[in-house]
Amino acid sequence: MWCAGGYWWLRRMVAPWARAIAGVASSAAEPSSVRRVTDMAVTSRFCLGAGIGRGGRAVNAPAVAFSQGLPHCWAEGARRRPDKGGTETMRISRRHAVLATGAAALAGLPRDGRAQALAEIRVSHQWRQQTDARDRGARLFAEEVRKRAPELRFRIYPNRSLISNPVAQYDAMLAGSLEMAVFPITYGVGKVPEFSIGIMPGTIKSVEQAMRIKGSAFHRRFQEIAMEGGIRIVTWWWTPGGFASRDRPIGGPETVQGLKMRAADPTFELMLKEAGASVVSMPSTEIYPAMQSGVLNATLTSAETFVSMRIYEQTKYATIGGPNTLWMLLQPLVISTQAWNRLTPAQRQAFDEAADVADAWFAREQEEAAANAAEAFRKANNEVRGLTDAEYAAWVELAKRTAWAEFARSTRHGRELLDLLTQSLA
């Protein structure tokens, strides 16, 4: 009785409001709309769900799928008060909370209660169009999906044209204002600490190894953890990288003593600190100006980024290429679980098949990326070298004492993931 009556009541009382909100939310295809969501500061003590706060910060916001319309709809019956940090917080009555929860469930649902099909899939990333394999790979993936599911439409936003802060793409996916992103997995460690395994030094040392563990027990468990965190890993894109420095060549751990470095992950940074470097955290889009201004005098990043962002213009030494790669980062295409759940089984199969095609292409590109980066460094008059076997072994020993140990100790599934990864690589 409650199921039928309760659903009728929510449909009768809430659906018109929900549809109005969904109409507002549909305008999010424009960059300004996404930025408006990112800047929103709405919190509630009564409703649950991840949302976006001021500055792209995650907040405990209700009904994130329609967060863009929420402040206007809750204006009546809500009062504002400053919280302890000075941020204005909206206190919502239980009646409004129930309405919000109902609207979240019903917004965008047709009369039969099934999830509304995706009209357009927005894909965001931070790299230049056509010059970076991550952009070209995203376009290849979209083309392959369209061959199999022509009803799906993609719109790709390169070079931060949709969301200016690459880290905030995760929040946007959780909020329902973005469907997909090419996302360096460690940008999400603030929400899912287990994502640090996607760059763990001393584990994966080649693209060939990375592709060999696709579909392994490690891959499956990592996917489960990602899904719990609100995103699904679609492609299996691993990018090799290396060191670049303005001051001196980098070899073993002792050579980073006193350098100001960036590494892209807290566990990796812990290893660098133990070796005597100071660490500055930033997305890769900020490396070039940081090197130019002296905020950094050394960095680690991917071979693709060294080239597409012309970081070689600000350095004199590079350690990249060869058989001993210390910096290997998972940077996949990901989709929000909200969007994934709206795909039909046939569309999901199209995604998986397209991902296989894109993965094979991307792996071939990355096999050449380090050599291309080394050549770009040489043309810019940088001294280029690789890590020797002894230098690599010294880094791995240090990584096990620092990055591995901290990851296993402080992360809920850290030990399990390390064990699965090392077993899959064996």
Distance between CA atoms of 225 and 348, rounded to whole angstroms?
A: 19
Contact 279, 261 (CB under 8 A): yes
3-state class percentages of the chain: helix first, strand second, coil last, to nearest 5: 50, 15, 35
- Mean pLDDT per 10-residue interval, the chain, length 426 residues: 45 43 37 35 32 38 35 34 37 40 40 61 96 97 98 98 98 98 98 98 97 98 99 99 98 98 94 98 95 97 96 98 96 99 98 99 96 97 98 98 98 98 96
Is position 116 within any domain?
A: no
Whether 217 and 281 map to the same domain: the answer is yes
Residue recorded with tokens 């600490």: 193
* Strands 180-182 and 121-124, bridge-based pairing: parallel
Contact 123, 184 (CB under 8 A): no
pLDDT at 115: 54
Whether 222 and 191 map to the same domain: the answer is yes
Whether 80 and 222 map to the same domain: the answer is no
Whether 138 and 92 map to the same domain: the answer is no
Is position 114 within any domain?
A: no
Type of residue numbered 382? N
Whether 97 and 226 map to the same domain: the answer is no
Type of residue numbered 388? T
pLDDT at 119: 80
Whether 280 and 422 map to the same domain: the answer is yes
Is position 13 within any domain?
A: yes
pTM of the model: 0.74
Residue at a domain's end among 106, 132, 159: 106
Range of the domain at 356: 121-426
Whether 179 and 102 map to the same domain: the answer is no
Whether 325 and 405 map to the same domain: the answer is yes
Coil vs helix vs strand at 240: strand
Whether 90 and 131 map to the same domain: the answer is no
Whether 296 and 389 map to the same domain: the answer is yes
